[in-house]
Amino acid sequence: MSSWTITPQGKPLRGTVQVPGDKSITHRALIFGALAEGRSTITGYCRGEDCLNTLQAVRALGIEIQEEGSDRLQVMGKGLWGLSEPTSVIDCGNSGTGLRLLAGVLAGQDFFSVLTGDSSLRKRPMGRVVTPLRRMGATIAGRKAGEYAPLAITGGNLRGREYVSPVASAQVKSSVLLAGLLAEGGTTLTEPLKSRDHTERMLQYLGVPLQIDKLTVSLNGRTSFQGASLAVPGDLSAAAFFLVAGSIVPNSEILLPRVGVNPERTGILDVLIQMGANIEVRDSRIESGEPVADLLVKSATLRGVHVGAEQVPKTIDEFPILCIAAAAAEGETRITGAEELRVKETDRIHAMATELRRLHVPAEETQDGLCIQGKATLRGGSFGSYGDHRVAMSLAVAGLIAQSPILIDDVACVETSFPGFLDKLLDLLTNSR
């Protein structure tokens, strides 16, 4: 099992970091590229394992994808009905997005397919997509009555439905919208709080008409669309580690060019700025239907805040690194209404509370969040990633301000989203004078 040792150096972080392409948008670009008529060109995509698993899944469904250099894909879409029955089980690895979105696509296809994933993904709830997809007419079998993968799907003949999702989840919303695109009639999805809207933006960019009314999205099924150029921005969730590192390591200054700043994703910016962070959002523009900007972070004194339920969906993947910001901040940080964190790649509430206490940061785990007493001196030692890429990267950032070295076990999981993360982080130390 691979591990990292981070030795605090007392040096600032300085330089420019190009973060990987947005993971959420890459999954969607591959899937919509497959369902489009003709060629789509995807640039700046994420080469993490999660997205490469979706790429392989799309290939297993009979779609040709050519890789050009390290940064460009050509997807030869065959239209809504051009996919073919896979001859083997499709393995989505660690990716909830890959599995849940593909479930929506496969529910609409007139063939049999099986979706599975690694041991973490096989423990994550799938009933949240299986229930609406069954209501639309798909036959889905799975462990514990379809609550867990593997999921065996006999798709086709879907009918559009109205579905009110009990969770604010872009994966559920996207799975239902993808099935709705393949269904007869209209599909309407309502969510309790607004989740990321990359699927809606990509559909609109591709020319598929959508009606959006606050928390409700509707589309008419069986609307075909042409392939297009899809430029994937940098992943704000990957940039978040540098935003926090640049904030908490004294005298730092880091530029993060071309990062996605979709307003349903920018909770991390709002919360850090509320904590007193010095972050400039420069040159905001739209690329392939998504807001993009350059981010400049300089170190600052942070103070604790309360992050409540309404901020959770747009901050959902950033809580592990926010916990490290909270540890370095003055005063208390409370996170509430975040029970969804318990069903991520690991139970992130439990993982972060446990590892913060190992860092000698007072942290209390609550049913729906955490309470962290900041400005503690972080102590080094041995830590675990829980097989979760975001926990591993967060602990690496903590290592920069700890009193003594930090050893993090089981860091191979970082490959799922951010190959080369540690080199990029440590390179910033060598740029400092």
CB neighbours of residue 17 within 10 Å: 23
Pick 161 or 196: Cβ nearer ligand S3P:
196
Residue nearest to ligand S3P (CB): 24
Q: What is the spatial distance between Cα 226 and Cα 233, in angstroms, rounded to a whole number?
A: 21
**Are the C-beta atoms of residues 92 and 99 closer than 8 Å to each other?**
yes
With respect to ligand S3P, which residue has the nearer C-beta, 96 or 221?
96
Tell me the CB-side half-sphere exposure of residue 126, using CA atoms within 13 A: 34
As measured in angstroms, the least distance from the Cβ of 173 to ligand S3P is 7
CA dihedral of 387, 391, 392, 396, whole degrees rounded to 10: -170
Tell me the residue type at 5: T
Angle made by CA atoms 321, 103, 338, in degrees to the nearest 5: 30
When the beta carbons of 28 and 78 are compared against ligand S3P, the nearer one is 28
The least distance separating ligand S3P from the CB of residue 171, rounded to whole angstroms, comes to 4
Min CB(300)–ligand S3P separation in Å = 27
**Residue whose token pair is 């890459």:** 26
Q: Which is nearer to ligand S3P, 116 or 169 (CB)?
A: 169
DSSP secondary structure string for all residues of 256-316: EEEEE--TTTTHHHHHHHHTT-EEEEEEEEEETTEEEEEEEEE----B--EE-GGGSGGGG
Which residues contribute to the site for ligand S3P (CB under 6 A)? 24, 96-97, 169-171, 174, 195-196, 316-317, 340
Residues annotated catalytic, as ranges? 317
Other Cβ atoms within 10 Å of 282 Cβ, number: 10
C-beta closer to ligand S3P: residue 170 or 259:
170
Query: Taking phi first (over 0 means left), then psi (-120 to 50 degrees means alpha), and beta for anything else, what does residue 336 get?
Result: beta
* In the complex, least distance from residue 240 CB atom to ligand S3P, rounded to whole angstroms: 12
Q: Which pair of tokens denotes residue 385? A: 């990633």
**Where do we find the tokens 């709830």?**
125
Residue 343 vs 429, nearer CB to ligand S3P: 343
Sheet holding 90-91, edge to edge: 90-91, 112-116, 148-154, 139-142
Shortest approach of ligand S3P to residue 50 CB, angstroms? 9
CA distances from 363 to 257, 336, 383, 393 (A): 34, 14, 16, 19
The nearest distance, CB 81 to ligand S3P, in angstroms, is 24
Q: What is the Cα 30 distance to its own chain's centre?
A: 15
Residue 385, φ and ψ in degrees, nearest 5: -90, -15
Nearest distance from residue 237's CB to ligand S3P, in Å?
A: 7
Name which of 126 and 248 has its Cβ closer to ligand S3P: 126
